[in-house]
Amino acid sequence: MLKLVSLIAALGLFISAGAASAQNAEAGAAVFKKCKACHQIGPNAENKLGPTLNDLVGRAAGSVEDFKYGDSILAAGEKGLVWSTEELANYLEDPTKYMRAYLDDNSARSAMSFKLKKEQDRLDVVAYLTTAVTAEAADTTAPETPAETRTIDEIIADQVFTAEFLEDPANFAAGKDVWFAQCTHCHGYKAYPGKAPKLKPAKYKPEFVFKRVYKGFKKMPAWNEVYTIDEVRQVVAYIKGQGFAP
């Protein structure tokens, strides 16, 4: 009887722990949106601007084949860095700072310019990357709107920007949120010069901005798997809007 009681108690604990991490993982799926411009997971994942992140926990740092890492993460891998949930959460807060501390070398730097500032976001995204989701359900290579049958180039060709759309303050505001969430670590006065050329909005047609953001170009990531067409259109309204400061 005692055995049964403790078994039930243990089971209860197990279930609640499972539920908590499932919850984190679910929240983490939303956080992972911020990573998708550069990283893929799932069975068809490919290296993009960043390496694939399958089976991350337990993996040696800098060990994805065919990905061209920076020197610091390779040095960290050689020194024995293996990704655990704690190390990942620390790394994501500030990859360059992390590499400097790990290698005890102030000239170390990370090729990942993105920082995830909120602790809860870091815990959630690590939970997401740790769960089995990585291997199966979360094939991030699948487009977000399966109903879409046009190709990327067809979608780009279909865009028309009216003055009414561009001048709508709601579009400007929504685009501004995207800009500060995902663009300022390469663009934006703090990042210049280096990560990206300074934008010259007066020179661009809105259709050109849409194309560059939606499809990417060289080291500019493509955002079509991260943002909906409408969201990218809103970023265009922001960049072309009065009060955008590149």
Contacting residues toward ligand HEC, per CB under 6 A: 34-35, 37-39, 49-51, 53, 56, 61-64, 69-70, 72-73, 88, 92, 110-114, 116, 125, 178, 182-183, 185-187, 195-197, 199, 209, 212-213, 217-221, 223, 235
Burial class (CB in 10 A: 0-12, 13-18, 19+), 108: buried
Nearer to ligand HEC, 3 or 219 (CB): 219
Beta bridge partners of 82: 60
- The one-letter code for the residue type at 29 is A
- At residue 60, the 3 state secondary structure works out as strand
Q: For the chain, how big is the Rg over CA atoms in Å? A: 21
Specify the length of the chain in residues. 246
In whole angstroms, how close is the CB of 145 to ligand HEC at the nearest point? 18
Residue where the block lists tokens 């989701």: 133
Nearer to ligand HEC, 100 or 195 (CB): 195
Nearer to ligand HEC, 112 or 123 (CB): 112
Nearer to ligand HEC, 21 or 113 (CB): 113
Contact in structure between 91 and 76 (CB atoms under 8 Å): no
What is the rounded distance in angstroms from the CA atom of residue 44 to the CA atom of residue 67? 16
In whole angstroms, how close is the CB of 236 to ligand HEC at the nearest point? 8
Nearer to ligand HEC, 12 or 197 (CB): 197
In whole angstroms, how close is the CB of 17 to ligand HEC at the nearest point? 22
Nearer to ligand HEC, 171 or 182 (CB): 182
In whole angstroms, how close is the CB of 169 to ligand HEC at the nearest point? 18
- Backbone phi and psi for residue 197, each to the nearest 5 degrees, phi listed first: -70, 150
In whole angstroms, how close is the CB of 67 to ligand HEC at the nearest point? 7
- The one-letter code for the residue type at 45 is A
Q: Where are the alpha helices (DSSP H) in 63-162?
A: 71-78, 85-93, 95-103, 119-130, 152-157
In whole angstroms, how close is the CB of 233 to ligand HEC at the nearest point? 11
